[in-house]
Structure 1
Amino acid sequence: MSDKNWDRVPIDAQSIDAPLSRAAVFLVVTVADGAEALATVCSVLDGLDDLVKTVGFRDLSGRLSCIVGIGSALWGRLGLETRPQELKPFAPIAGPVHAAPSTPGDLLFHIRAERADLCFEFERLLLAALGSGVSVVDEVSGFRYFDARDLLGFVDGTANPTGLDLPASALVGGEDAGFQGGSYVVVQKYLHDLDAWGRVPTPEQEAIIGRTKSDNVEIDDDAAPRKSHKSLATIVDAAGNEHDILRDNMPFGRPGHREFGTYFIGYSRHLWVIEKMLQRMYVGDPPGAYDRLLDFSTPHTGTTFFAPARPALQSLLQAAQARLAAAQPAASPA
């Protein structure tokens, strides 16, 4: 795991540690130019918790939640004096065969619930409030697929940290005290070639993934000539410490459009952990021995955000609103 010295678990972090849900919406938007659009966004974000309560009250057992992440470019446009130490745009990766693109995104809304209609209603009201101040870049509705499997047929998220390991892996600690309790978030939308994958024999699929398909048992491939997806996605530092991230991936698809995919979303205490994981997948370890899963799964997006803890988010919004108000020209006397 990341670091056992994470001694203060903030009860006011965004709902990053919420259990896997049955439905989710991943909404990425860009914010229009101009102070008016920024002011609208700040106002809507300031009232986000109230909107969650308004919609979620219709069914409290539906466990509606929403995490908001802020992109590097928007952070700069808000004119904030401080920013998370590692926050930067998603860096595109060019491997020997496959590439990971970097795509725009100022805000991420990760909406989760046990009912798809709660996600829908929340997103509808959210976008109505944001109005013309934002443009939708990507919108994906995910669903739980049987026993937490992806559309490739394998259980996803097995290695997620739990208990006290979760905040130590997913939430910033005292190393960046001003943003403790926040999390770096990386998203990628992958589309699968299910026809090609279906032609691969199950033992070979298992060797590619690094787990058995039927019962989700981890395969020891340390001595194998080529590392599996599981092994390439495992990050160990020079001191032998393993660094985990929290995944909340979800399948999505439109069979009528032959669209089948997995929306990857990773929360991490350190952005470099996800960056190293992706480098290992696309470039390979050793270089050239890339993740064979990429022969069947193609990324169409790639964006990085930071999801501040609630107190930090409120302070940031207040500072941005004060700056925007101060920048407005004084009203002419009547």
Structure 2
Amino acid sequence: MAREQFGICAEPSLHGYYLLFNVVDDDNAYLRQALSRMPELFDNYADRFSEANLTGVIAIGSGYWDELHPEARPNQLTSFPSMDNEDRIAPSTSFDLYIEIRSDRADVNHIVSSKVCELLGSSVELIEQVRGFRFLDGRDLTGFVDGTENPKGFHRREVALVSNEQDETFAGGSYLHIQRYRHNMKLWQTIETKEQEDVIGRTKMDNIEHTADEIHPCAHIKRVNLKDDEGKSMEILRQSMPYGDMKVQGLFFVSYCNNPNHFKLMLEKMVHCDGEGHFDHLLQFTQAETGCAFFAPSLNFLKSLA
């Protein structure tokens, strides 16, 4: 049975380091070897710094997959679903490899990130690096709790991991979408708490969801909490983290799922208007600057790359 990468379903950490690479040469054989060795690198440092609860995820971009592994492809892996409507934009950006390193120690994340870059060597170019951090009791920088609707316990695996029935060849893997959002904090802070709560659809301090009578049709949770034709929730597993400094603040959004359609439908509901002109009003205060689709394969698959 395929073993998933443990970082996909891991519980939240205090610190995250997200590395995005593009391949710059044709030595795919070297990269296959390097990627096959990376889980062992993570395990070694997780043992060395056991108190840090280190986890890692390795994912391969939709545009690079066929070059790295032309023999087979996850059956639903497609490019990022870029969208735009008026001033609401979800751009698609090109990244070949994604490495996610999370733990409860920022220094350990830095050490492991350095080792990842050494292992990949000159075959790649580091395009973007984002350091995320846990903010207060798991809140976004807007002040609202993030990921309240995340699946809990074993259900995390059911939501995030591809089953044998879905794709036997790539069971234990996960479809991954990332977006780096940049918040307009100055604008956000100009509106009163009640208006902020209407934008999100929850109370700010107590994190209580608005009732059906109270919630605005443009509220964020109204737009992204979707159900299928059978009334079943269309869930994703978020592993997002706030990032930023005194000049730039935002959210590095990370979504894992056993299929890519849940994320795509959520993004459509956010960006595009419905028949009554409703869209996600949170997008008036934050802008996605990147977007890319990946597949995070099982540990068995990564080992086979060697």
TM-score range, shorter chain: over 0.9
Task: Specify whether residues 81 and 291 from structure 1 end up closer, same or farther in structure 2 by C-alpha distance, changes over 3 A only.
Answer: same
1:75 aligns with 2:75: no
CA distance in 1 between counterparts of 2:215 and 2:43 reads 51
Q: Given that residues 56 and 118 in structure 1 are in contact (C-alpha distance below 8 angstroms), is that contact kept between their aligned partners in structure 2?
A: no
Residue of structure 1 aligned with 2:268, choices 279, 284, 298: 279
Residue of structure 1 aligned with 2:30, choices 3, 27, 40: 40
Q: Given that residues 246 and 266 in structure 1 are in contact (C-alpha distance below 8 angstroms), is that contact kept between their aligned partners in structure 2?
A: yes
Q: Given that residues 215 and 222 in structure 2 are in contact (C-alpha distance below 8 angstroms), is that contact kept between their aligned partners in structure 1?
A: no
SS at match of 2:204: coil
SS at match of 1:189: strand
SS at match of 2:127: strand
Describe how 1:242-281 pairs up with structure 2 within 5 A: 242-255=233-246, 258-281=247-270
1:73 Cα offset (Å): 1.8
Residue of structure 2 aligned with 1:230, choices 221, 229, 233: 221
TM-score, structure 1 normalization: 0.87
1:221 Cα offset (Å): 4.0
Residue of structure 2 aligned with 1:62, choices 52, 62, 68: 52
* Structure 1, 245-254 or 221-230: larger mean CA deviation: 221-230
Residue type matched to 1:20 in 2? Answer: P
Structure 2 residue runs of 5 or longer lacking an equivalent are none
TM-score, structure 2 normalization: 0.95
RMSD across aligned positions (CA): 1.6
1:50 Cα offset (Å): 2.0
Residue of structure 2 aligned with 1:184, choices 160, 175, 182: 175
* Structure 1, 297-306 or 220-229: larger mean CA deviation: 220-229
Aligned partner of 2:198 in structure 1 is 207
CA distance in 2 between counterparts of 1:11 and 1:309 reads 6
Q: Which has the larger radius of gyration?
A: 1
1:97 Cα offset (Å): 2.8
SS at match of 1:67: strand
Residue of structure 2 aligned with 1:124, choices 98, 101, 114: 114
CA distance in 2 between counterparts of 1:39 and 1:154 reads 45
Deviations for 1:195-228, whole angstroms, at most 9, x for unmatched residues? 1000111111111101100010111246755231
Q: Given that residues 232 and 285 in structure 1 are in contact (C-alpha distance below 8 angstroms), is that contact kept between their aligned partners in structure 2?
A: no
1:109 aligns with 2:99: yes
Structure 1 residue runs of 5 or longer lacking an equivalent are 1-9, 319-334
Q: Given that residues 185 and 268 in structure 1 are in contact (C-alpha distance below 8 angstroms), is that contact kept between their aligned partners in structure 2?
A: yes
SS at match of 2:271: helix
1:179 Cα offset (Å): 1.2
Residue type matched to 1:310 in 2? Answer: L
Aligned partner of 1:7 in structure 2 is none
Q: Given that residues 221 and 228 in structure 1 are in contact (C-alpha distance below 8 angstroms), is that contact kept between their aligned partners in structure 2?
A: no
Task: Specify whether residues 288 and 134 from structure 1 end up closer, same or farther in structure 2 by C-alpha distance, changes over 3 A only.
Answer: farther
CA distance in 1 between counterparts of 2:129 and 2:157 reads 28
Q: Given that residues 227 and 285 in structure 1 are in contact (C-alpha distance below 8 angstroms), is that contact kept between their aligned partners in structure 2?
A: no
Task: Specify whether residues 163 and 53 from structure 1 end up closer, same or farther in structure 2 by C-alpha distance, changes over 3 A only.
Answer: closer
Question: Identical aligned pairs, as a percentage?
Answer: 36
Aligned partner of 1:98 in structure 2 is 88
SS at match of 1:73: coil
1:219 aligns with 2:210: yes
Residue type matched to 1:24 in 2? Answer: G
Q: Given that residues 19 and 98 in structure 2 are in contact (C-alpha distance below 8 angstroms), is that contact kept between their aligned partners in structure 1?
A: yes
1:54 Cα offset (Å): 3.1
CA distance in 2 between counterparts of 1:168 and 1:122 reads 29
